[in-house]
Structure 1
Amino acid sequence: MLNSTVCSQVAMSGEMSLPSSVRQAKVCLIFATRGRAEVLERVVAFVDSQTVQPDMIIISCVSDEDAGKLASRPGLLVLKGQPGLTVQRNHALKHVPDDTDVVVLLDDDFLMHSRWIAEVLKTLDSDPTISCVTGAVLADGIHGPGYSVEEGQAILARADVPESLRVVSTGCPYGCNMAFRASSIAGLRFDERLVLYGWQEDRDFGGQILSRGGRLVRINTALGVHLGVKRGRVSGRKLGYSQVINPLYLVSKKTMPLRDALNHVLRNVGSNVVRSFAPEPWIDRRGRLGGNLIGLWDFVRGRLTPERAAKL
């Protein structure tokens, strides 16, 4: 488990650098997953192509079936516990080894380019004020019907890593691919009131880091593909509720600016209204809109209860 006192002191000082080339930085890679064992097995197998291998892989799941055949893989720890993205990620964070330098959190349907970990380590080592790195997503299946593993691998095979590193400060990481300096997140946890899919849990976690004075960046050299697998996702009604309540709840926590929250809510509600007349086959627009309306009514009544999504 991370030593919270020591690591927090180091993070606040802003003087944390990764180990030199004499001792390779230790990396712990975490996947939270449920109901997608076949995809997860192939995603984890693809990790073998990394030029820098993680020292440990943690699979945080709910049942034995979620991990499939991965339980027998060397260097991999399977944890079972309660369902929910934030709960499962927190469960994994409790088991990160003390000597870990970098914690990587990936969605169970995210494929990394072979240099993803190497580029992240290079970026963190270049500037001790950087707490979190998000890579460049070449294709994101979350915005469409999704990609197969073969399609994702083909996209990466055609991609060339830029020769020049470009580092851009950002207000939040993208939850499908995030890497953290371990000292920067010591003692931090994902908000477990953001149930099920978690919706905006990455923004909230990033906001906690920003409040500590950490820096969040996006780089152009850590390439990846988010397959956007639809199997295992929550119902439209539940997600629609979270689309409204979660951003407004984060405003109350001061981990999301009001303007950003309103932009999220209005954009999502507007899309669900317009597209409910001719919904995409892979999205339950009418269900989402119904959840949006329940969320708006709760907000009008002064109820900021993101955990209610689990009961809809």
Structure 2
Amino acid sequence: MPTQSQSPADPAHQSVAALPRDRLSVVIGIATTGRAGVVRTTVLHMANLADRPDRVVVSVANPADVDATGLDDLPFKVDVLHGPKGSSAQRNTVLDHAGDAGIVFFIDDDFLIAEGSVTALRNLFATHEDVVMATGHVLADGLRGPGYDHAEGLSMLERAVPVDADAAPRTVYSTYGCNMAVRGAAIRAYPERFDTILPLYGWLEDLDFSRRMAAFGRIVEDPHLRGVHLATKTGRISGRRLGYSQIANPVYLVRKGTYHWARALKLVTGNVLANSAKSLWPEPWIDRRGRLTGNILAFRDLLRGRCRPGRIHDL
């Protein structure tokens, strides 16, 4: 079961700056399902960087979800962990096995980090002791289109304009799930974990976790932490299920208290309008009609008083 947010009156509620200093080792966590080739390519990309993490943890529900051939010979340790299926549950598996990590950096299995990002993470958390979570600058996001292949992603990284050395992190509302880092000391000090009531793809689990962790420190976007999100289309949740989650999950988070209703209403309205307008001539890479059907089913359940995230298991 997910943990509840701590209130400012709780004894455990304190500034992250009051926590012990970490040895800022970087563990990269990847939750993946049904995309063994994709995650293998992403891990090998990190091995080709000069600036590498200390450890990579791949969290799967099925042994077939990762091809571990040759991963023992990389310049960092790769651990494959098995546990319950679902983005939230699989990310919790990473957190529960993070050990004494200074920073846990979650990336999607198709997110290519840029050279220098690991050092940027260490510098950020070492010099800004009030930061509890961080997200990076996405140089290109295939989620807004048909996606990119690995070669295209590498080309974008190579062509990226260098960041001004004086560029400072800025406070943001939440992290972006394809690349989000959390301070290791905060993981060990507080009971917060990803909410497993948000099943499968875990739509908005990154926002929910960020808003709960915001009680303990600042959430920032660091321009020196960069990468490309390929947004590979294989192995994604069905359009109908995602459409249902686009309604059910924001409603659940508003009721839970981690999402403001005005923000949720704006998100829901935007998704429903996009699915409706584009359902006649949908993009080849998006199941707009399935998403719209899921939206309608969720609204029907909302009127009947039975709209909840877990209903997608029945779709």
TM above 0.5: yes
Per the TM alignment, residue 51 of structure 1 is displaced from its structure 2 partner at its CA by 4.1
1:58 paired residue number: 57
Paired residue secondary structure (2:30): strand
Structure 1 residues 125 and 70: alpha-carbon distance in aligned structure 2, compared to 1, 3 A threshold: farther
1:192 paired residue number: 196
Contact 2:239-2:294 within 8 A present in 1 as well: yes
2:252 paired residue number: 249
Aligned residues, how many?
299
1:3 paired residue number: none
List alignment gaps of at least 5 residues for structure 2.
1-10
Contact 1:10-1:183 within 8 A present in 2 as well: no
1:46 paired residue number: 45
How far does the alpha carbon of each residue in 1:46-97 deviate from its partner, in whole angstroms, 9 at most, with x for none?
Answer: 1124444222211101222211135742511111222211111112211111
1:67 paired residue number: 66
Measured in 2, the distance between the counterparts of 1:259 and 1:298 equals 21
Cα RMSD (Å) = 1.8
Paired residue secondary structure (1:68): coil
Measured in 2, the distance between the counterparts of 1:72 and 1:121 equals 24
Measured in 2, the distance between the counterparts of 1:172 and 1:46 equals 27
Structure 1 residues 299 and 12: alpha-carbon distance in aligned structure 2, compared to 1, 3 A threshold: same
1:92 aligns with 2:94: yes
What are the residue-to-residue correspondences of 1:1-312 with 2, within 5 Å? 12=15, 14-16=17-19, 18=21, 25-70=24-69, 72-73=71-72, 75-97=77-99, 99-163=100-164, 164-186=166-188, 187-210=191-214, 212-312=215-315
Measured in 2, the distance between the counterparts of 1:13 and 1:266 equals 35
How far does the alpha carbon of each residue in 1:137-171 deviate from its partner, in whole angstroms, 9 at most, with x for none?
Answer: 01101111000000000000011331222211111
TM-score normalised by the chain length of structure 2 = 0.90
Higher alpha-carbon deviation: 256-265 or 57-66: 57-66
Structure 1 residues 50 and 287: alpha-carbon distance in aligned structure 2, compared to 1, 3 A threshold: same
Structure 1 residues 123 and 70: alpha-carbon distance in aligned structure 2, compared to 1, 3 A threshold: farther
Measured in 1, the distance between the counterparts of 2:128 and 2:14 equals 13
Measured in 1, the distance between the counterparts of 2:162 and 2:124 equals 14
List alignment gaps of at least 5 residues for structure 1.
1-7
Per the TM alignment, residue 304 of structure 1 is displaced from its structure 2 partner at its CA by 3.9
Structure 1 residues 283 and 250: alpha-carbon distance in aligned structure 2, compared to 1, 3 A threshold: same
* Identity fraction in percent: 39
User: Which residue identity does 1:276 align to in structure 2?
Assistant: S
Paired residue secondary structure (1:76): strand
Contact 1:161-1:223 within 8 A present in 2 as well: no
TM-score normalised by the chain length of structure 1 = 0.91
Contact 2:247-2:299 within 8 A present in 1 as well: yes
Structure 1 residues 304 and 213: alpha-carbon distance in aligned structure 2, compared to 1, 3 A threshold: farther
How far does the alpha carbon of each residue in 1:159-203 deviate from its partner, in whole angstroms, 9 at most, with x for none?
Answer: 133122221111110000001111223322111011111100000
Higher alpha-carbon deviation: 196-205 or 296-305: 296-305
Paired residue secondary structure (1:178): strand
Contact 1:147-1:228 within 8 A present in 2 as well: yes
Higher alpha-carbon deviation: 242-251 or 159-168: 159-168
Measured in 2, the distance between the counterparts of 1:31 and 1:263 equals 30
Structure 1 residues 225 and 241: alpha-carbon distance in aligned structure 2, compared to 1, 3 A threshold: same
Measured in 1, the distance between the counterparts of 2:69 and 2:78 equals 8
